[in-house]
Amino acid sequence: MLFPNSQGGRHEASGTGAVGTLVTAHATVDTKGSYTAIIAATSFDYHGFFIQTLPLTANCSYLLDIAVDQGGTEKILVSDVPLMNGFSEYGGYYFPIFVAAGSTISIRAQASVTSGLFVATTYGQQAGSNIPIFSRSETIGALTASSQGTQIDSGAVVDTKGSIIQIAASTGIDYKYMSCYIGHDHATLPTQGGIIGMGVYVGGSGVEDVIMNGMVTGGLGGVGYTSQPHYGLFCDIKAGTRISADCQCNNTQATDRIGSIVCIGYN
């Protein structure tokens, strides 16, 4: 199911071509490119939207900015969304944030290789009831210098968690909902593949409390790991909170065991 349960809601889809609208990252590595419109004008107020992506460049990771309007007046709704799913593998991302009717939704991207390509399709939702609506977001853990998420090493022991690594020293806003995007580090393709399991924590160093655990991504050697917002969590994380993560892997290969994570909080 693409969207949370709602009553009396409606949806619309956009994206050109058979598989979606083509988006090209900047020709300079790790630099944001120009905006590409995914939908010219929303037909009604969106109470959230879903973006489906298909990467077309092998061994590449991306960070996406999603904005409304165009012509140099873009307002970023969600910044530095990671796209880490393997080459030619679809990924889906839900954003529980408001978009007014008549808005243009655009995407710009940076990539770990020159002019990385992917296609995107947008599905907007207007809820009848039973769905929270958020108006702002904050992204933590994105590494814009390398177009990746924060790197989490599971260590050299199979199926054993490594050290807890800080994602953010202090959140800038209250979080009422948080999405965590996990994947492989993508600096190199995995040799053997495997499964990475990740946990997310709040609290100071040495006194962390787990808030999400058992988030899993997996993939094949020579292909890559699939990234997904796994999972979204309704929460009550106050501004100023330290957030961190750890992971474990069923493979101790140095090219396989390192996970990557980015979190987005909403209120």
pLDDT of residue 87: 59
pLDDT score, position 255 = 76
What are the 10-residue block averages of pLDDT along the chain, 267 residues in total? 54 77 94 94 92 84 90 89 73 89 94 88 80 92 94 92 96 96 71 84 97 83 60 93 95 84 96
What pLDDT is attached to residue 1? 36
Q: Tell me how far apart the alpha carbons of residues 136 and 173 are, in angstroms, rounded to a whole number.
A: 9
Res 108: pLDDT = 96
Which tens digit of pLDDT belongs to each residue from 134-173?
999 999 999 999 999 999 999 999 999 999 999 999 999 9
User: Domains plus CATH for the chain?
Assistant: 10-126 (2.60.120.260), 137-266 (2.60.120)
Residue 224's pLDDT is 61
Residue 127 — φ and ψ, nearest 5°? -90, 140
Taking the C-alpha atoms of residue 190 and residue 253, their distance in angstroms, rounded to an integer, is 8
d(CA 83, CA 71): 25
pLDDT at 228: 58
pLDDT 10s digits, 55-64: 888 778 899 9
Q: Measure the CA–CA gap between 216 and 214, rounded to whole angstroms.
A: 6
Q: What is the pTM of this model?
A: 0.91
Residue type, 34: S
